[in-house]
Amino acid sequence: MLNLKKSIIPHIIDQHAEEAAFLWLLRNDAVNAPHYDLDDLAKLDQRVDAHLDGLRIAGDYAWQVCCDNLEQEESGEVFAAAILALESPSTEYIKQVYKAVKQAPDTIDGLISAFGWVATHNLQGKVKELLESTDPLYQQIGIAACVSHRVDPGKYLEQSIHNEDIALKARALQAVGELGRVDLKALLLEQLTDEEPQIRFWAGWSAVLLGDRGYGLKILRLNIEQNTPFCLSAMPVALAVLETDAVKQSLKILADQQETLRFAIIGAGLSGDPIYIPWLIQQMQIVELARVAGEALTHLCGVDIAYQDLEADVPEDDLEAGPTEDAEDESVEMDADEDLPFPHFASMQQWWQDNQQNFKPEVRYLYGKPIDEEHCLWVLKNATQRLRYLAAVHLALTKPEQVLFEVSEVGQRQQNLLA
Alpha carbons 213 and 223: distance in angstroms, whole number = 15
Mean pLDDT (the chain) is 93
Note whether 418 and 383 are within 8 A (CB): no
pLDDT in tens, 247-287: 999 999 999 999 999 999 999 999 999 999 999 999 999 99
pLDDT for residue 271? 97
CA dihedral (67, 73, 76, 78) positive or negative: positive
**With 70 as the cut, is the pLDDT of residue 322 above it?**
no
pLDDT tens per residue across span 201-220: 999 999 999 999 999 999 99
Looking at residue 327, its pLDDT comes to 59
**Is pLDDT of 2 > 50?**
no
How far apart (Å, rounded) are the C-alpha atoms in residues 29 and 194? 32
Q: What is the mean pLDDT of residues 31-47?
A: 96
- DSSP letters for 307-338: TTT-B-PPPGGGTT-S--S-TT----PPPTTT
**Distance in angstroms (rounded) separating the CA atoms of residues 46 and 402:** 29
In the chain, what are the domain boundaries?
A: 1-123
Torsion of CA 24, 79, 69, 60, to 10 degrees: -120
Cβ–Cβ under 8 Å, residues 118 and 102: no
Which pTM does this prediction carry? Answer: 0.93
Average pLDDT over residues 361-378: 96
